[in-house]
Amino acid sequence: EAPIGPDPVTEKWPQWPYKTICGWLEFDPVVAFNGPTGVERGSRPSERALARLLREQRNWATPIVPARHWRLLAETDDVAEFASGRLMGPYGPGTVSFERQEGRWKEIGLSSGCEPTSIVDDMQAVSWTLAIDKPKPAEGDRHLWINLGPGPCNGGRSQNARARRPVTWRVDKKLMVAMTLKPLPPGGYTCQGLVEPPLKVRLAEPIGESRLFDGATYPPKDVIRLWSRGRATRR
């Protein structure tokens, strides 16, 4: 059962400098997840399409998304996206996307989990973690050793080689670091993985007393906490 009302994350993170994306459309995560739930009871054509899908899902052997308490993420003349569930849940909120086809809204995508990804310099940010075989970053450090998370399919090309300079911003005593990749030439690419060594990146200024966060997603991830867990697991 999906919770009702604004997501508690928006109280902890009431501002975010970038739009985010879960599927097809970019949206303001603070506005979207601080907004009302229950839009499946609305009268807009896209909302009625959502209600029809939820009724159909009752007959499925394994329903994919929550049955109610949906919120609108974004809508254009031709595409609408909805979400239901908490950002800090085990899988993130479920999402449904619709497209207007020949005057009728039709479902074009279902997901049981969404992690709003920041759009930085017109590119989707790539998640990252601190390399657990390197020391914990100190206040005076301007370099980080990181491991990049999965990005788009790239035909086995190196993500480290395509990494752009980190983008940073501060929220109180928290330092956000977002990583993006140089775009690939147009074309289709296979999705085989490539294991790469840690990547050394230089920050625009020392870390200082700030705690480090991965700004690739809303809400951001505390990479120091993840690093500590990883070190403890290795012992």
Average pLDDT over residues 137-143: 95
The mean-pLDDT minimum among 18-32, 55-69, 156-170, 194-208 falls in: 55-69
- pLDDT value for 164: 97
CB 22 within 8 A of CB 124: no
Ranking 20-29, 85-94, 193-202, 214-223 by mean pLDDT, the lowest is: 85-94
Q: What is the mean pLDDT of residues 149-161?
A: 92
- Bridge partners of 60, per DSSP, are none
Q: What is the chain's length?
A: 235
Percentage of residues of the chain with pLDDT beyond 90: 78
Task: Please state the rounded mean pLDDT for residues 176-200.
Answer: 93
CA distance 22 to 18: 13
Residue 192 has pLDDT above 70, yes or no: yes
pLDDT in tens, 84-111: 999 987 778 989 999 999 989 999 998 8
Tokens encoding 137: 């970053």
Which 3-state string (H, E, C) describes 139-202?
CCCCEEEEEECCCCCCCCCCCHHHECCCEEEEECCEEEEEECECCCCCCCCCCCCCCCCCEEEE
Q: What are phi and psi of 64, to 5 degrees?
A: -90, -40
| The two three-digit tokens of residue 180, written as one number | 């993006």
The pLDDT > 70 percentage for the chain reads 99
Q: Is the pLDDT of residue 56 over 70?
A: yes
Is the confidence at residue 112, as pLDDT, over 90? no
Place 148 in a pLDDT band, splitting at 50, 70 and 90.
very high
> Is 219 strand, coil or helix?
coil
Q: Assess contact for 131 and 198: CB atoms under 8 A.
A: yes
